Chains A and B, each alone.
Chain A
Amino acid sequence: MTTSFQNVIADRHKYARQWKARTGGKVIGYFCTWLPEEIVYAAGILPVRILGSHEPQEMAERHISSMYCPLCRDCLAQGLSGKYDYLDGIIGPFSCLHIRQTFASWKTHVPLEYSYYLYVPTIGHHAAAKPFWVKQLTKFKASLEEWTKKPITDDDLDKSINVYNTNRRYLRQIYDLRKDDFPPVSGAECMEMVVSSQLADKAEHNVWLKSAYHEFSTKKERKDPGIRLMILGSENDDTEFVRLIESLGATVVIDDHCTGSRYFWNYVMPKEDRLSAIASRYLNRPACPAKDITQERRRFKHIPKLAKDFRAQGAILIQQKFCDPHEFDIPPIKEILMKELGIPSLHIEMDIVWPLGAYQTRLESFLEMLQPALV
């Protein structure tokens, strides 16, 4: 079953093209997981997250400063080179300036039928945020309706919410299996499930997840996980990197990534006002550092809780080079993990491509350092 997830990731463009041919529907690209996909999906549109290609490029720097993060430059380069030429439109949900510039430059230089910039409040739990954002979502929904020339009914939204919540439920159930002393599923396999979920039609993905859950939960042969690790930080869709970690005598048992748990952790709780229900879900989801600017520091409570619940023994902090919000959070998180839970961490800075040998050496040193502490 894991091959379905891998195939979607490897052949994401082929998958989207085939979906389009099969359904006659529109495909939209989006840059960040703050997009309330339920509304897009309810309009009969397939939302596809634009992720890194991890291939060297030299097109983006003609439009974006080279001190903007590698992800935003990698994404733009793919747009400019025509890799996403099947997209009917793009949506830029506001997360950070880097991604906003990718959206803006893409919109300017790549011909598209539709584009929409959706503001997402920075302080989701402020009392004023929800009424404001519900109004923004109402405008967004109207814009999609105008484009598709089809109303999005409450029934459409209910069905969409149901599909998305089912996806989240399966992913959480599979993640929970990792709490076991001998987890039946690896970190790389989990990342593949989440990343493919951001690329595939969720209804189809749910069928694969159901089967995967059955397969993993009944798995008899389970190996010693070695050192239990948490990975957290910037956007990271590089499953090869996780495979590398797990080939060195460790298992990634939990993450705090937007290509991992942050994407699906909480549900839309049904309400009469569907947009209000959707807004609540996104405004209260686990935050990334760009959406965690108050003194409350929601991340600093959520991350240690995850580490504790999944019994992580070490943490790898991944940061896209030049990603300011994560640069602000990484030193205090390192301190909290060590002081509160005695969890040492390793900080790794990612670029569009990364030096396998150098990272392997650093990872090996980190894992060796952890061994005596665990005896």
Chain B
Amino acid sequence: MTITKYQTKPLQCWQKAKELRLNYFKSVMNAKRDGKLLAMVDSGSFLELPAGLGDDYIPFEGHPYGASVGGDPEFSQKCVEATEAKGFARDMCAYTRNFWGSMFLNEYLYGGEFPKGEFAIWRSACESEGKFYQLVAEHMGIPGYALDFPLLPGQEKDEDVIEYVVDQLGACIKWMEKVTGRKYDDEKLLKAANNHFESTRIWAEICMLNQTIPAPLDQKTIYTLYFPSVALRHMPETLAFYKEVLAEVKDRVANKIAALPIEQCRLWDDGIPPWYFLGLYRYLEQYGAVVLGSQYTYALHGAWEDYPDGSWGPARLPQERGMRMKTREDILRAIALWYEEKPMIRAMALPEIKSRQLLRIVQDWHADGVMMHSNRGCPGLSFGQVENYLALQKSGIPTIIYEGNAADKRELSEAQVLDRIDGLMEQMGIRKLVGL
């Protein structure tokens, strides 16, 4: 068997991605000192909504913070134990337990006391998400606003859902004006929304480029690159960053610069990774296995659209679809639609929706196999996973599920995960690269 060796080199934008992430967490830490408006906003929520209150708005988002704590096992253990000491169950969402524990201990991962926002906004895409910030607002003694975000299994966009979400967003704006005493500026909302639309669309374009053989990016790298699409998608810096990333990845594709020097097989990933054990991706490199991405990295906030001709790809911007963006209601409508179309959200409506997405992804990204993380405590991303596994197996796609936890190291056996990976490689006839 001939093994092709590709040219590879580090990403030039790598450092910028790291800086964006660190600066964000520092800005949260220093918000009070700098006189900024810090709001507790869950990352799945309508991040851009408080932007109309002023340019000094900074969101403190629970899930990215919970994941970051998970990447520091020693601090994470302190946090989850602090949460469990309050009587909360060990099998609850680990992002929540990390965030809450850090809050209860009044210790921030990046130093100092735990930052306190002026108000909180959250939504209900999963039960944990709905309950997470309820307690945050209570513990901090700040006003909170919950939003209902319906998941309907139909393939067609439901105008009633859009209208319902728009009504709630409009009411939330009035509520924010009341609790902050600030006047809301629709122009600022429009700018934040446009940043969100365009940056998440470009992120989808970047992910599309990973269909190329050899893949220009691997999942380990993508974890760093996707962060702004989650936590900072409303910011102009994010849009500028993704334009740079897109140009660089296009260049890598044109020049066949690969993520890995040897690409023996291509894998698709499912679920949230164990953040404290990203070494599993290094282990896969020993097999020349490139992990192409996951719905979590591509589509948690990446913007995708099913085109009328049956194909799919990066979502067209509201303006490109002829949507008016003149009034507040127009902007809110575009925002509601943008969230409603997110494939990750739609996948949580019925397992068969995600199975269809997975089969299409495996084909379009030329994946040879799939590995799934059954993440204890995350009913949202475990929804339908066993049915998805069956659908993949039925289609002849080698697939494994390993059990673990995204952000609680106590819940995962590294040896067992690596054994599973070895099993998958054996099933696919892939051997470790020795001496290449």
Contacts and interface: CB of A to CB of B under 8 A. Distances in A.
Interface of A: 61-65, 67-68, 94, 96-98, 100-101, 104-105, 108, 117, 119, 121-123, 126-129, 131-132, 135-136, 289-290, 293-295, 297, 321-322, 324-325, 327-332, 334
A97 B127 contact: yes
A295 B146 CA distance: 8
Given A117-B153, A289-B127, 17 more contacts: A68-B379, A68-B382, A98-B379, A121-B150, A122-B124, A122-B130, A123-B146, A126-B168, A128-B171, A132-B161, A136-B160, A295-B145, A325-B127, A328-B88, A328-B92, A328-B127, A328-B134
B298 to A, nearest CB: 21
B27 to A, nearest CB: 26
A325 B128 CA distance: 7
B386 A61 contact: yes
Contact of B152 (A119, A121, A122, A328): A119
Contacts, number: 132
Contact of A104 (B143, B384, B390): B384
A101 B151 contact: no
B351 A132 contact: no
B128 to A, nearest CB: 6
B108 interface: no
A82 to B, nearest CB: 20
Interface in B103-151: 122, 124, 126-128, 130-131, 134-135, 137-138, 143-148, 150-151
B382 A96 contact: no
30 contacts: A62-B386, A63-B390, A65-B386, A67-B91, A67-B382, A68-B382, A97-B380, A101-B383, A105-B351, A108-B352, A119-B152, A121-B148, A123-B146, A126-B171, A129-B148, A132-B150, A132-B167, A289-B127, A293-B130, A294-B134, A294-B146, A295-B134, A297-B134, A322-B91, A324-B92, A324-B131, A325-B130, A327-B88, A327-B91, A327-B92
Contacts of A129: 148, 164
A40 B40 CA distance: 42
Interface of B: 86-89, 91-93, 122, 124, 126-128, 130-131, 134-135, 137-138, 143-148, 150-153, 160-161, 163-164, 167-168, 171, 348, 350-352, 374, 376-377, 379-380, 382-387, 390
B147 to A, nearest CB: 8
Nearest to A60: B386
Contacts of B88: 327-328, 331
A132 B163 contact: yes
Nearest to B165: A128
Contacts of A101: 351, 383-384, 387
Contacts of A127: 167, 171
A316 B197 CA distance: 49
B387 A126 contact: no
7 closest A-B pairs by beta carbon, nearest first, are A331-B87, A128-B167, A293-B130, A132-B164, A328-B131, A327-B89, A122-B148
B218 to A, nearest CB: 27
Contacts of A67: 91, 374, 376-377, 379, 382
B35 to A, nearest CB: 26
Contacts of B143: 295
B124 A119 contact: no
A132 B131 CA distance: 22
B319 to A, nearest CB: 27
Contacts of A98: 379
Contacts of B135: 328, 332
A97 B92 contact: no
Given A63-B386, A105-B351, A293 B164 contact: no
Nearest to A327: B89
Contacts of A62: 386, 390
A293 B131 contact: yes
Contacts of B171: 126-128
Contacts of A297: 134
Contacts of B382: 65, 67-68
B240 to A, nearest CB: 36
**Of listed B89, B161, B385, residue having the most chain A CB within 10 A:** B89
Contacts of B377: 67
A289 B131 contact: yes
B352 A324 contact: no
B134 A293 contact: yes
B88 to A, nearest CB: 6
B215 to A, nearest CB: 29
B310 to A, nearest CB: 23
**Of listed B145, B152, B350, residue having the most chain A CB within 10 A:** B350
Nearest to B383: A97
Contacts of A96: 127, 379
Contacts of B150: 119, 121, 132
A121 B151 CA distance: 10
A259 B89 CA distance: 24
A65 B348 CA distance: 14
A12 to B, nearest CB: 27
Contacts of B126: 97
A357 B386 CA distance: 34
A269 B384 CA distance: 38
B76 to A, nearest CB: 19
Given A104-B350, A119-B152, A294-B134, A132 B160 contact: yes
A105 B389 CA distance: 13
A129 B153 CA distance: 19
Contacts of B146: 122-123, 293-295
Contact of B383 (A100, A131, A322, A330): A100
Contacts of B385: 65
**Of listed A61, A97, A136, A331, residue having the most chain B CB within 10 A:** A97
**Of listed A61, A289, A331, residue having the most chain B CB within 10 A:** A331
A136 B380 CA distance: 23
A101 B387 CA distance: 10
Contacts of A294: 134, 144-146
B380 A330 contact: no
Contacts of B167: 127-128, 132
